[in-house]
Amino acid sequence: MALVRLPGGEQRSGRIGGIVWSTGKGGAYIRAASIPVNPSSNRQQEVRAHMSSLSTQWGIDLTQDQRDAWSAWAAERGRTNRLGAVIYLSGQQAYVSSNAPRLQAGLDQVDDPPASIYDAPALSGFSVEASAASGDVTITWSGFYTWEDQDDASLLLSISRPVAAARTYNSSPYRFMGQIPGDSGTPPTSPTDVACTAWPLIEGQRLWCRARMTLADGRLAPWREYNFLCGA
């Protein structure tokens, strides 16, 4: 790996031929490309199956009016990529990206685009505690936009692999841990305990937890992240 200084603040990211351009804590760098090992775990296969199913439904099950509506919705919603550039998704990309997390959580997919072009807002408050003895993660949240009293809305939760307490950054992939579903009859209240099904919890190790809401109309909120030490 070699650190590089790009002229004029230029940024590059991704693979070009046999070279990978990226940015880390020490600055921009390049390295030789390598073929990653693909364990093809059950979790990976499940996510790929959802994306494949949604792509098929886009071309077969959705009507042309629905496809046109998703394309128009996506064209109104610029998003910032990891290099800070504003990009626009295609209608199919917007449909798949909105629905894939819902299918992973066992929620119904949304075939019509949301009426609003704006994302759901991120939680304004988010913190996490965990107990190695119980295997539960306690989620505390707050926000000015309610999802709790919406049927078919949910707070989606992902968690990193536990690492040593001294680690100050997370480099492991997140796994879907669970959700806190909305309910118009009996809305969930903060804090709520969720069983950690992704990894065994070990006292004293550090984890990162991410949360974002999916609303009943299919809109997703930005991720909120919190790192914490697992308790006894």
Give mean pLDDT, residues 78-104.
Answer: 88
pTM of the predicted structure, to 2 decimals: 0.81
Q: What angle do CA 185, 186, 192 make, to 5 degrees?
A: 155
Instruction: Please indicate, yes or no, whether residues 76 and 158 belong to a single structural domain of this protein.
Output: no
Residues 94 and 25 in one domain: no
pLDDT at 161 over 90: yes
Is residue 163 domain-shared with residue 220, that is, in the same domain? yes
Q: What is the mean pLDDT of residues 115-119?
A: 90
pLDDT band at 146 (very low <50, low <70, confident <90, very high): confident
- Given this model, what pLDDT does residue 165 score? 96
| Whether 111 contacts 73, CB under 8 Å | no
Within this chain, do residues 13 and 47 fall inside the same structural domain, yes or no?
no
Of 106 and 34, the structure prediction assigns the larger pLDDT to 106
User: Is residue 26 domain-shared with residue 55, that is, in the same domain?
Assistant: no
Q: Within 10 Å of residue 46's Cβ, how many Cβ atoms?
A: 12
Task: Supply angle C-alpha 176, 89, 72, rounded to 5.
Answer: 120
Residue 113 lies in a domain: no
Distance between CA atoms of residues 156 and 211, nearest Å: 6
Please provide the size of the chain in residues: 232
Q: Average model confidence (pLDDT) for the chain? A: 88
pLDDT at position 207 is: 96
Main-chain phi, psi angles of 205, to 5 degrees? -90, 155
